[in-house]
Amino acid sequence: MIHIAWWILFFPLISFAIIPFIPEAKRIFAGWIACVGIFFSFLITLRFARPMFDAGEFHTWYSKINWILIPGLQLELGFFIDSLAILMLLVVTGVGTAIFYYSLEYMEHDEGYKRYFAGLSLFAFSMIGIVISGNLLQLFIFWELVGLSSYLLIGHWYQKDEAADAGKKAFLTNRIGDFGFLIGILLLWTFSGPAGSRTLNFLQLNASISSFVQSSPAHATGLTIAMLLIFCGVLGKSAQFPLHVWLPDAMEGPTPVSALIHAATMVAAGVYLLARMFSLFLLSPVALEIIAYIGGFTALFAATQAIVQKDIKRVLAYSTLSQLGYMVMAIGLGSAAVGMYHLTTHAFFKALLFLGAGSIIHATEKQNIFEMGGVIKKMPFTSAAFLIGTFALIGFWPSSGFFSKDKILALAFSENRLLFISSAITVFLTALYMGRAISLMFFGASKIRKKLHEPSQKILMPLLILSILSLAGGFFGFERFLHDPNHHEMSGPNSLVIQLATVLGLAGVFSGFFFYRIGEKNRKSLLQPFSWAYEILMRKYFMDDLYDFLIRYIQQPFAKLLDWFERTIIVEGAVNHAASFTALTGRYFKKLQTGRIQTYLSVFFSGVVIAIYLIRFGALH
């Protein structure tokens, strides 16, 4: 049992290794190999999950091999599978399989078909690696690998400047966060015990850090700093404010990639990290509070921007930011279980929304929602799937989103009223922008000239499966997986919160929906007084301008200064002069090398005589 756990990790890696060797003429196999790889991983994960589904038993599997063993530093490679990891693995491999399968058709005529599936397999490998890592350093390695595969897939259409730039932006923004993450890991390592017995192992870290915190009050501050630095990694990967800027641009990648990586799994890795290290975060209430506020702020901040986006994928991207904010907030408010629950349901319905949008984009070859309209008549199945996803996103009963979002709201209601209010506003805004998108995409007069038809079963099957999961996911009881002594109990349903959320959701959908039904002229006149707000939202609250300013006027001059310092002081001054000094001394000492053997011997003998004299009579005696 324990040995097959490695295969969860290695099946996608094997696919990745095989795909480049497939001849271009038979490239269809590349897609199938990738699909089979992730599907096998999914099957093995199910094997691990079965005791929990059947009997509600909670096992923990742990295994390791030693990697680096030098005195004072022991590093190991290992896996650690508990209920949290299994839940995440189910999401990654399950949703992954659906999306891989979907890609078979979606990318069928793409030039970089093999490269695409190789990238997807590499991503699956690294993502699974994050989930099952047994220690922080190993997790960090896979964390970076995930960043790399994300970069490769965003830039899949690298001939387009926007895609290439978006890839770079994603990678660099993540690097900023990961830099903090790495420092945080090193800090935790030094905190984890006296030199020689330090560890980064998840199993031991908890005990050693809590004894560290209890030993002195000043240590609590140190831990807060370390945990906030680790949270920096989450800021980057899960795209929380202020490092959220990369995610909307990442939509330049192929739509299945957006669904898998930039909605369902990779961006959720940050939330997973928070849940994985939750017992450590619990030791630092200050850090948790900051995390909660950042999450709540991101949720609201991103939802407002989603209202004005014209590209359907960007609407969904901002929505993802907003939902990730919810998850981070839930963990910050003290319940990793609620955060992970929303992560799971969000993975289902957001993947569904992206795949539905992809199906429409694939058929219409348009992404602008103002250029669509009337799609529901031409593509009823896809539209139904998209609508189910929308209902789950807004959180209507009985969809899965209802259950998880309600738990988050109830948690906020009992823990922090300010955050509850902002979350409630976010619920309204979510419904508003989704109502707007639906209204523009599916209803009204069609603006599409092309003849539309439903895609083949390769696209429809994943839509069907994800629709079922989005609808019924709330009844599967995924929260059972999170019944862990380390995690808080989930709060029960709160009828006031449920009613409020439903009313807000309905109000949002209707206002969004009908506002775009009233005709363009009326709408323009209504919106006229708010054009300044529209401008701010379209400019993304000037965040990109702010970063542009920071880079152009602060980072760039600083880099120039460093460049000058390096060129003139270090290279010209230190390095070159050291070299010429060596050359100069060499020119003089060369004269000692006469080439006459007897001269050498004379020197040698006199040296020996002097040495003997010194040893016998002189200073060395």
Residues near another protein (CB under 8 A) are 595-598, 601-602, 605
Residue 415 tokens read as 């823990």
Shortest gap between Cβ of 596 and another protein (angstroms)? 5
Closest distance to another protein from the beta carbon of 582 (Å): 18
What's 34-59 look like in SS3? HHHHHHHHHHHHHHHHHHHHHHCCCC
**473 and 359 in contact (C-beta within 8 Å)?**
no
Tell me the closest approach of the beta carbon of residue 591 to another protein, in angstroms. 12
Separation in Å, CA 50 to CA 46, 481, 617: 6, 11, 86
DSSP codes of every residue in 187-204:
HHHHHTSSTTS---BHHH
Residue 477 identity? G
Sequence letter at residue 479 = E
* Cβ partners under 8 Å of residue 175, min gap 6: 147, 236
**Chain CA centroid to CA 448, Å:** 35
Of residues 495 and 598, the one with the C-beta less far from another protein: 598
- Taking the least distance from each CB to another protein, the nearer of 601 and 614 is 601
Integer Cα distance of 148 and 140 in angstroms: 12
Closest distance to another protein from the beta carbon of 184 (Å): 58
Cβ partners under 8 Å of residue 616, min gap 6: none
The residue (of 596 and 616) whose beta carbon lies closer to another protein is 596
Min CB(599)–another protein separation in Å: 9
**Min separation Cβ 594 and another protein, Å:** 9
Nearest CB to another protein, comparing residues 570 and 601: 601
Tell the smallest beta-carbon distance from residue 590 to another protein (Å). Answer: 9
Q: Are the C-beta atoms of 194 and 159 separated by less than 8 Å?
A: no
Question: Residue 468 is encoded by which pair of tokens?
Answer: 């079922």
Cis preceding linkage at 242, omega within 30: yes
Residue 316 · residue 354 · CB < 8 Å: yes
CB of 570 to another protein, least distance (A): 33
Task: Report the nearest approach of another protein to the CB of residue 576 (Å).
Answer: 25
Q: Pick the closer one to another protein by CB: 555 or 602.
A: 602
> Between 596 and 621, whose beta carbon lies closer to another protein?
596
b vs e for 26-48, b when ≥16 Cβ sit within 10 Å of the residue's Cβ?
Answer: eeeebbebbbbbbbbbbebbeeb
Rounded Cα distance between 177 and 143, Å, is 11
Kindly report each contact of residues 195-202 with a partner whose C-beta sits within 8 Å and lies 24 or more positions away, as own/partner: 195/72, 196/71, 196/72, 198/72, 198/73, 199/74, 199/135, 200/75, 200/135, 200/136, 200/137, 201/76, 201/78, 201/134, 201/135, 202/80, 202/134, 202/135, 202/136, 202/276, 202/277
Cα separation values, 103 from 31, 35, 585, 606, Å: 8, 9, 67, 83
Q: How far is the CB of 620 from another protein (least distance, A)?
A: 22
Q: What tokens does 369 get?
A: 């929602």
Least distance to another protein from the beta carbon of 587, Å?
Answer: 12
Report how far apart, in Å, the C-alpha atoms of 133 and of each of 50, 192, 264, 449 are. Answer: 21, 18, 19, 51
Tokens found for residue 510: 């209707």
Query: How far apart are CB 615 and another protein at their closest, in Å?
Result: 17
For residues 312 and 371, give the distance between their C-alpha atoms in angstroms, rounded to a whole number: 11
